[in-house]
Each structure stands twice: as structure tokens, then as C-alpha cells.
Structure 1
Amino acid sequence: MKDTIVLNDQKYKIIDNYGNCIKTEEIESFLTSYFDIYDYICGDYAYDRLRLKGFCDKENKNLNKINDIKGYEKYISDLCSYKCKHFLLKKEKTK
């Protein structure tokens, strides 16, 4: 399994890939500039449809309670379908 992925010219580290569900072309079609401010991209599948959500590290000025990466596990357990396929990608900083 790969440990990194490139989406729209941005490199991401694969943190979680439950159900081996990462589909590059599909993710890229949903990944708009809206997600540029986030350090992490979470994707989950409900009824075979992809949903994306952004999360932030504590150093990110856009951090708030809703998008804090510390809430990732709670988001998956409380707001996603039971045992749904999901992934978490961490944006790699450019030098």
C-alpha cells in the first residue's frame, strides 16, 4: 500500500484508509479550493457517495472546535454510517 498520494498537485500522507477506499480521480473531482485551508482531508462513503471534510492542526489559524483534528475519531463514530469506508489524508508542507 502506498503511504502518500498526490491530489491536484498537492502531496498528502495517507493516515487512515479503512476499507481501502481511496480513489484519486473521485477525490480530485470533489477537492475544491475550499479545502486549501485545512491540514487534513477526511473522506467517508455513505450509500456509495463520497463526502469530504477538512480538519486542522492546533497551529492552524483556522482551527475551531468543529474542525480540530482531535475530533476525527468522534466524527467517524458519530456522524458517519456505521463501519463505513473512510480515509484521512494529511497535507504535506511544501518547502
Structure 2
Amino acid sequence: MIELNGKKYEVMENVREGFDEGAIAERYTDVLKKYDYIVGDWGYSQLRLKGFYDTERSKATYDSRIDMVEDYILEYCNFGCAYFILKKVDE
């Protein structure tokens, strides 16, 4: 469990030790708080964060739904990169 700006998140996946709480806290911005999931991937020692919505959200675009995260990782992330997926926990 991790807390970012008052929101709690659960680590759903941690591939190749990509999860680094300190790095996430440094890169996190309030823009991400509207998303249900946050995906972080590492490339060239740089952490990149992207938000995704739950599949059930009717207004979510096709590319912004969490069920499309595998396509995102394959298409936009470095091959074999370390990454993680955080899910927002409802309080």
C-alpha cells in the first residue's frame, strides 16, 4: 500500500522490481488523482507515469482503460522494461 497526496493505492503488479516508492512520490502530479490506476515504467533510468481508468467507466476512451495496459506496455514502453501497476483504493 502506498499513499500519494491523500489517495491510497495498492500495488497490483511489480514487474522486474519496477516499484520504487520514493521515485513515485517525486514524479507524482495531481493530474493522476482522477485515474483509477497508475502505471509506471522505467526507461533510461527515468520513471514515467500514466493514468488509466477502470474498464467499467463509460466515459473512458478505449486507450485509457486498464484492460488496454498490455498494449500500452508493448507499444510505448522500452522492451523488457521494469514497470508497475497501482490501483486506487476506495476509502
TM-score (norm 1): 0.86
In the alignment, what sits opposite 1:60? 57
Deviations 1:27-62, CA, capped at 9 Å, x for gaps: 111111100110000000011100000000133365
Identity percentage over the alignment? 36
Structure 2: 5+ residue stretches without partners: none
In the alignment, what sits opposite 1:42? 39
Structure 1: 5+ residue stretches without partners: none
Amino acid at match of 1:32: T
Q: RMSD between aligned alpha carbons?
A: 1.4
In the TM superposition, structure 1's runs of 4+ consecutive aligned residues that sit over 6 Å from their partners are none
Looking at secondary structure, tell me which structure has more helix per residue.
2
In the alignment, what sits opposite 1:13? 10
TM-score (norm 2): 0.89
> For the Cα contact (< 8 Å) 1:14–1:90, is it kept in 2?
yes
Q: How many residues align?
A: 91
Q: SS of 2:47's equivalent?
A: strand
